[in-house]
Amino acid sequence: MNSEAVWAQAAQQFQQSLGDSWTQAMQTFSGVHGAGMPAMPQLQFSPDKLEALQQAYVKEATELWNSGLSANPGAGDKRFASDAWSANPVAAFSAAVYLLNARTLLAMAEAADTDAKTKARLRFAIEQWMAASSPSNFMCLNAEAQKKAIETQGESIAKGVQNLLKDIKQGHVSMTDESVFEVGTNVATTEGAVVFENELFQLIEYKPLTKQVHERPFLVVPPCINKFYILDLQPENSLIRYLVSQGHRTFVISWRNADDAVQGKTWDNYVGEGPMEAIRVVREITGAKQLNALGFCVGGTILGTALAVHAARGEKPVASATFLTTLLDFSDTGVLDLFIDEPFVKFREMQLGRGGLLKGQELASTFSFLRPNDLVWNYVVGNYLKGETPPPFDLLYWNSDSTNLPGPMFTWYLRNTYFENNLVKPGKLTVCGEKVDLGNLDIPVYIYGSREDHIVPIGGAYASTKHLPGKKRFVMGASGHIAGVINPPAKNKRSYWTNDKLPESLETWIKGAKEHPGSWWTDWSNWLKPHAGKLVAAPKTYGKGKFKAIEPAPGRYVKAKA
């Protein structure tokens, strides 16, 4: 058989073997099994591309074979960085072969003659497949885990089995020592009280840390997909405490962890009974005509929709808005776009559109498998093969504290934002009885995006500047979706970039941007101060009138488990 025929057969086998990986990857991402799942595409390969791949593979395989059992498992891959791998010739050789095959499979995906979205789906499926099949994930191939088992006389194996049974019981892989943390005790500890609650949220008012506060209060709308205390993990990295320390009378929405009682709630409910109701209550408590507001991630999408409803009614209760890693324009959604198409959306609508819950564990698994080596298999190896207890880390504890969503709210959000991008189409959507148009939000806005964000790509964050007509400031921070946001000034870490001009493209903006060392929080604080009004005496009690303290912060809603 000639070489061209060999590689044509290899391409056919590649497609056949990829089928199971494709199915698993689609199911992992979407939670869909069966009718709503994207079918594995039929692939075609150019003979020239296959021949080039063959030559490259044979060359590298020959070099690897000629090196015998002195193969280098590959610099730069932390899975094989331990000396135990290089000291074990068989393990090193298996790792080197695995890495060669992984590179070749990804190259075959790139060589497939298909459209860009299908190619991206192929890459994702192969990455999931390769992450799961790494030699480091198996005790019989993991030299580091074997060495530890010998050194501990089998104790690491026994501890690994205990960890596995514990994680099976709790329903998710442990990313941190969850026994160390308790909400309200050593996370979410900024002092305050719940002053209002309804079916969907509790409103927390925080105790002032200054003798005077700005006359315009501040409302924070966190994502309902996660719990609000990502903004209040520890005193030294709490954005909420930072706001309070800057003299802002701060209120925060704590969303209810959805259960059967609210399984029929819609997007209209989340907008009208969420930030619109919170705005009403904050104004009544403080007596302020206007307040400032912040929305984080999907909380920003909900806030933006609420402000558009207010604008449609001729109301302007918010003086300025801050959008942190928020999508209003969903034309660039990164990896999350790969599997969203009409069959998938329709299936989800049939499944959840009239009621039910999108389970928090499904959401958590989806986001974890966007970075499978870091957020899944790393812990499988550490917890089960090495018998280690992951160290305490507040952010990963929060990441494991998942939340449910009502099905109708989720399916509306899925179709009208991620799939059809209707929020930026003036008058296309009717929310709370009003035609919404982001072009009516003529207020100052501060828009922040993280440079390495894989959930809200930096281009998606920047796209908001094209749809909001008021005076805008766009800032780009280093790192990802969470680490970029939670970057307190005291730690003096990372950088942020500013550019007073807002050209059409992000690339042009970046070329003209200036880098500043440290946290973007100080830039935001300086921007916010002129919008906050004059200083007045800080209140001595929580709430006002009929809005009295119900219970201490962080309240009971945030403590409910999915």
Following DSSP, what letter does each residue of 448-483 receive, concatenated? EEETT-SSS-HHHHHGGGGT--S-EEEEEESS-TTT
Do residues 140 and 257 share a domain?
Answer: no
Is residue 400 domain-resident? no
- Ranges in the chain, pLDDT < 70: 1-41, 68-71, 73-75
Q: How many domains does the chain have?
A: 2
Is residue 496 a contact partner of residue 519, using CB atoms and an 8 Å limit?
A: yes
How many Å is the maximal CA-CA distance in the chain?
87
**How many other CB atoms are there within 10 angstroms of residue 105's CB atom?**
21
Q: Contact 386/147 with Cβ under 8 angstroms?
A: no
**Residues 222, 89 within the same domain:** no
- 3-class DSSP assignment, residue 99: helix
Helix residue spans in 171-221 (DSSP H): none
| Co-location of 63 and 209 in the same domain | no
Contact 551, 558 (CB under 8 A): no
Q: Are residues 79 and 228 in the same domain?
A: no
Of 151, 175, 200, at which residue does a domain stop?
Answer: 151
Contact of 523 with 475, CB cutoff 8 Å = yes
DSSP-assigned letter for residue 512: T
**CATH (domain of 272):** 3.40.50.1820
Among 561, 562, 523, 559, which residue's Cα sits nearest to residue 204? 559
Where are the extended beta strands (E) located within 404-517?
405-406, 430-431, 434-435, 445-450, 472-477, 495-498, 514-517
> Which of 160, 142, 122, 116 lies closest to 41, judged by CA?
122
Domain boundary pick from 151, 179, 202: 151
Which residue, among 383, 367, 364, 323, has the nearest Cα to 176 in the 3D structure?
A: 383
Assess contact for 409 and 266: CB atoms under 8 A.
yes
- Residue 160's H or E segment, with its range, is helix 155-170
Cross-strand bridge partners of residue 443: none
Give the span between the Cα atoms of 173 and 167, in whole angstroms. 5
pTM of the complete model = 0.90
pLDDT computed for residue 412 by the predictor: 98
8-state DSSP, 226: S
- Catalytic residues, which ones? 297
Report yes or no on 173 lying in a domain: no
Same-domain pairing of 104 and 198: no
> Any idea of the CA torsion for 117, 123, 124, 125, to the nearest 10 degrees?
110
C-alpha closest to that of 318 among 203, 210, 440? 440
Residue 513: both structure tokens together = 């941007």
Domain that holds residue 452: 192-336+410-559
- For helices 3-30 and 47-66, give the axis angle rounded to 10 degrees: 90
| 356 within some domain | no
Nearest 5°: the CA angle 25, 368, 26 is 15
DSSP type of residue 263? T
Cα–Cα distance, 284 to 546 (Å, whole number): 10
Q: What are phi and psi of 346, to 5 degrees?
A: -60, -40
Q: Does 449 share its domain with 522? A: yes
Helix (H) or strand (E) holding 253: strand 250-255
Chain mean position to CA 177: 21
Query: Is 164 inside a domain boundary?
Result: no
Nearest to 228 by CA among 217, 244, 236, 239: 239
Establish if 169 belongs to a structural domain.
no
Asked if 198 and 294 sit in the same domain, the reply is yes
SS3 of residue 517 by DSSP: strand
Cβ burial of 69 (10 Å; 0-12, 13-18, 19+) is exposed
pLDDT given at position 517? 96
Do 9 and 116 belong to one domain? yes
Q: What is the pLDDT of residue 41?
A: 64
Does the residue 145 lie in any domain? yes
List the structure tokens of 64. Answer: 């690897």
Instruction: Supply the pLDDT for residue 187.
Output: 96
Same domain as 421, residue 293: yes
- Edge-first strand listing for the sheet containing 514-517: 514-517, 495-498, 472-477, 445-450, 318-324, 291-296, 218-221, 250-255, 201-206, 192-197, 551-552
Same domain, 115 and 229: no
Instruction: Let me know whether 239 and 107 are in one domain.
Output: no
Residue matched to tokens 């044509």: 8
Q: Dig out the tokens for 298 from the structure.
A: 């999907």
Here the tokens at position 112 are 């497939």
Last residue of a domain, one of 123, 151, 179: 151
175 in any annotated domain: no
Interior angle at CA 483, CA 479 and CA 488, nearest 5: 110
For the record, the structure tokens of 253 come out as 């929405």
Q: Which of 26, 34, 3 is nearest to 347 (CA)?
A: 34
Q: Give pLDDT tens digits for 290-337.
A: 999 999 999 999 999 999 999 999 999 999 999 999 999 999 998 888
Task: Determine how many CB atoms are found less than 10 A away from the CB of residue 434.
Answer: 17
Tokens 């390495």 belong to which residue? 452
Query: For residue range 512-549, what is the model confidence (pLDDT) as tens digits?
Result: 999 999 999 999 999 999 999 999 999 999 999 999 99
101 & 217 share domain? no
Residue 245 lies in a domain: yes
